[in-house]
Amino acid sequence: MQAIGILMFAIALASAVLSAAGVWFSIRLMHRVGMMDVPNERSSHSVPTPRMGGAPMVVAALSCFSVWMACQSGGSRPGIGLAGCLLFAVSMFLLGFRDDLSDLSPRFRFFVQLTGAAAVLALVVPMSLAVRIGSISVPVWAWFPASVLWVVWMLNLYNFMDGIDGLAGGEALLASIFFSGVFALHGEPAWAAANLLIASAAAGFLVFNWHPARVFMGDAGSAFLGAFYGIQSVVAGAGTEIPFLLFVFPFCNFILDTTGTLLRRALRGEKWYRPHRTHWYQRMTAYGYSHASVTCLELSGVMISCGAGACFLLSAGLAGRVALLPLLAVLLVGTAFSVGRYGRRKGVNDTPEPP
């Protein structure tokens, strides 16, 4: 627990303040230069709103992490695993920033994401290593391509779920606090510090992103978060005593919503890769729930998922650990279907978009 001390909390407070100040400044700058997210038929907002608020959030977290590193002795400095994760996340942040300025081709983005994830994983994870999933060891020929796809999927699903006020920022706040505590308990101060500073920067961003949002995160911020969480789960799962599956729990609602929605659209013959408003959280707002209510419901699911993750960590038996994820999925999916039934009773249109 030495990772969490007075100095760490002081730097975390600075991260939150710097993030909030940077977002405040970015709002005024975006208004001045006209970089606004203008509502369209697929938007969940009704007035033009500045975007790219995630950029100062990321800068605040990285700057404060640099300060924390400068204050550490050699034993607490991040190893190549964490450095590689941050390098990948920053590269995806820059890609997202460029996409915020001018839309990039989806194929180009996917190519850069795929090659970047593969290169970083090959660099920081020994190719001779067998990754643990619970007590099961997975050989490199199986885990490496699956890990690359997992990282790219996490990167993109985080972007997909950044669609209503406070959701992506709130997820970052809760997930990073959970991860920071887990890393601290396992004697991993650098990982704990990185996650705590991301959480505090997300808190500063939420000051202006909570409903009614005065700024949106943008692709830069969501790409950084999705990339970091995705690659962290693989690298830390391989290089620490923390099992990979623990890193999945806080994102169960994001994973279920995005995966289920895309499968549903594909089965309906829709162009699943195009922008749409049929994610579960978007349908809940269509059913009449406010952004704040939907976000609170989603974040309640995150807290339940983190609680399940804590039970997973404390559980000694493999059977109990394996049972937790499907039980959690049933709970979250059951809640989603209950909301859907409510919407249909209210006569909300739930017909598919034209292909």
Pairing of strands 136-138, 49-50: unpaired
79-85 average pLDDT score: 91
Residue 151 lies in a domain: no
Name the pLDDT band for 355 (thresholds 50, 70, 90). Answer: very low
Residue 351 lies in a domain: no
Residue 118 lies in a domain: no
In whole angstroms, give the CA distance from residue 152 to residue 171.
18
Q: Per residue in 42-52, pLDDT tens?
A: 666 678 889 88
Using only the alpha carbons of the chain, give its radius of gyration.
20
Residue 95 lies in a domain: no
Strands (DSSP E) found in the chain: 36-37, 49-50, 131-133, 136-138
What is residue 295's predicted lDDT score, i.e. its pLDDT?
A: 93
Domain count across the chain: 1
Residue 250 lies in a domain: yes
What is residue 2's predicted lDDT score, i.e. its pLDDT?
A: 47
Residue 227 lies in a domain: no
205-212 average pLDDT score: 95
Instruction: Provide the token pair at 82.
Output: 């964490």
Closest C-alpha among 27, 110, 104, 97 to residue 58 = 97
Residue 206 lies in a domain: yes
Name the pLDDT band for 314 (thresholds 50, 70, 90). Answer: confident
Residue 232 lies in a domain: no
What is residue 29's predicted lDDT score, i.e. its pLDDT?
A: 95
b/e sequence 11-37, b meaning 16+ C-beta within 10 Å: bbebbbbbbbebbbebbeebeeeeeeb
- Are 285 and 164 in contact by the 8 Å Cβ rule? The answer is yes
Percent of all residues in the chain with a pLDDT value above 90, rounded to a whole number: 52
Q: Per residue in 109-118, pLDDT tens?
A: 999 999 999 9
Pairing of strands 136-138, 131-133: antiparallel
Supply the range of the domain harboring residue 69: 6-78+164-219+240-345
Would the CA dihedral through 338, 340, 343, 344 be positive or negative?
A: negative
Query: Above 80 in pLDDT, residue 127?
Result: no
